[in-house]
């Protein structure tokens, strides 16, 4: 039985380094708690952890163990997130902790995302003020990207940093699997500027078998982000034999067009074996085939995790076909846009954030 009127929000008491009372949970009988941050709704007895491995019931109070505990921090090209239509060519301070609320068999960053605090001793302590300060040290830096592992598991830390960055005039970017509840997402919109969301497949069976989650919350998140007018780019990691069926893929890109718009940016990313997955890397011919399908429905489709440049990397005006942005690796050169993001050939608005 959930006790009434005990849904906890943010800015609660601390109990030591990395430990902070978490947001979005309910207390239940027998000193239990139910986490409401993501759709798993983990019911935790005393000393139990959630699926994320970083949120713990301590005597009937839910705590996060990763507040201020940074496992990775780098100054990255914005294109690495990947975001191709959001201030191209700029850099962004990128941070992550440990933990994730999914358990993907094919995880590409498993050494921190599938770890708990005790598994990863190299974490460094940074307050939100320190992270924001580092972000503003470089005047060419865009802001902060919350990435590397799943940011929703360090929600409280992310939001406190994001508030400071927002107040200082910087930009906040969330690189996420999109598997979170509506209320926490809604509460982020005032300070979050852009989202890079993984849409891992387009069947619930894939999500259940390969990630231990479900697809509907991710679809709901994509729609909500679009409804709030936030910049959105979607990444689909193509895994041979698991999510590369052309028919299902075509259903997915049709849904993207209808739910988030023809101008939604879609990144088709090449998979490499790792963690628990031993399937061979995605063949180039599979990427090429799906690229052609996606281009029938979406104006901007890109290929990632491959070394080649040219088609699948560069941006062309959807109206006149003029090549307007050229990319080689993470090097980006704007060749056919004015300062407001219009095509110099026909005047079409190609990029909004430039």
Say yes or no to pLDDT of 15 above 80.
no
What mean pLDDT is predicted for residues 64-81?
Answer: 97
The pLDDT assigned to 280 comes to: 97
Question: Using 50, 70 and 90 to split pLDDT, how confident is the model at 1?
Answer: very low
Residues 178-225 pLDDT 10s: 999 999 999 999 999 999 999 999 999 999 999 999 999 999 999 999
- Cβ-contact 275, 281 below 8 angstroms: no
Question: Using 50, 70 and 90 to split pLDDT, how confident is the model at 307?
Answer: confident
> Which residues are paired to 195 by β-bridges?
174, 232
Say yes or no to pLDDT of 10 above 90.
no
Residues 19-48 pLDDT 10s: 999 999 999 999 999 999 999 999 999 999
Closest CA to 102 of 175, 210, 243, 242: 210
Question: Using 50, 70 and 90 to split pLDDT, how confident is the model at 69?
Answer: very high
Question: Using 50, 70 and 90 to split pLDDT, how confident is the model at 13?
Answer: very low
Distance CA(173)–CA(254), nearest Å, equals: 26
Closest CA to 97 of 72, 133, 130, 122: 72
Mean per-residue pLDDT over the chain, rounded: 94
Say yes or no to pLDDT of 14 above 50.
no
Question: Using 50, 70 and 90 to split pLDDT, how confident is the model at 309?
Answer: low
Among the residues of 114-215, which ranges form H helices? 128-137, 155-167, 182-188, 204-206
Structure tokens, 349: 């608005």
Distance CA(185)–CA(195), nearest Å, equals: 11
Say yes or no to pLDDT of 121 above 70.
yes
What mean pLDDT is predicted for residues 39-66?
Answer: 98
The pLDDT assigned to 310 comes to: 62
Distance CA(172)–CA(188), nearest Å, equals: 10
The pLDDT assigned to 9 comes to: 34
Where is pLDDT greater, at 90 or 15?
Answer: 90
For residue 309, the SS3 value is coil
Cis peptide before 110 (omega within 30 of 0): no
Distance CA(240)–CA(286), nearest Å, equals: 8
Distance CA(325)–CA(84), nearest Å, equals: 9
Say yes or no to pLDDT of 120 above 60.
yes
């Amino acid at each position: 039985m959930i006790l009434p009127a005990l849904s906890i929000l943010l800015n609660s008491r601390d109990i030591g380094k990395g430990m902070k009372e978490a947001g979005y949970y309910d207390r239940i009988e027998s000193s239990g708690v139910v986490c409401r941050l993501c759709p798993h709704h983990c019911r935790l007895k005393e000393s139990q952890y959630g699926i994320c491995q970083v949120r713990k019931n301590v005597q009937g109070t839910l705590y996060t163990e990763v507040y201020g505990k940074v496992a990775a921090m780098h100054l990255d090209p914005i294109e690495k997130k990947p975001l191709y239509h959001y201030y191209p060519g700029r850099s962004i301070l990128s941070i992550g902790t440990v933990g994730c609320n999914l358990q993907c068999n094919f995880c590409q960053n498993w050494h921190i995302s599938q770890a708990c605090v005790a598994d990863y001793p190299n974490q460094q302590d940074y307050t939100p003020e320190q992270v924001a300060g580092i972000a503003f040290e470089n005047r060419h830096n865009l802001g902060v990207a919350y990435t590397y592992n799943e940011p929703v598991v360090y929600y409280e830390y992310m939001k406190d940093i994001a508030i400071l960055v927002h107040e200082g005039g910087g930009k906040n970017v969330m690189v996420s699997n999109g598997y979170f509840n509506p209320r926490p997402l809604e509460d982020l919109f005032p300070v979050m500027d852009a989202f890079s969301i993984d849409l891992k497949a387009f069947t619930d069976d894939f999500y259940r078998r390969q990630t231990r989650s479900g697809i509907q919350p991710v679809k709901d998140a994509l729609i909500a982000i679009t409804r709030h007018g936030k910049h959105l780019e979607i990444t689909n990691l193509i895994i041979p034999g698991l999510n590369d069926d052309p028919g299902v893929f075509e259903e997915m890109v049709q849904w993207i067009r209808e739910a988030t718009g023809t101008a939604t940016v879609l990144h088709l990313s090449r998979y490499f074996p790792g963690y628990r997955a031993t399937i061979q890397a995605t063949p180039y011919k599979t990427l090429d085939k799906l690229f052609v399908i996606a281009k029938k429905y979406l104006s901007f489709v890109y290929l990632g995790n491959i070394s080649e440049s040219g088609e699948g990397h560069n941006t062309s005006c959807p109206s006149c076909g003029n090549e307007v942005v050229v990319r080689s690796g993470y090097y980006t050169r704007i060749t056919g846009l004015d300062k407001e993001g219009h095509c110099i050939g026909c005047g079409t608005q190609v990029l909004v954030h430039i």
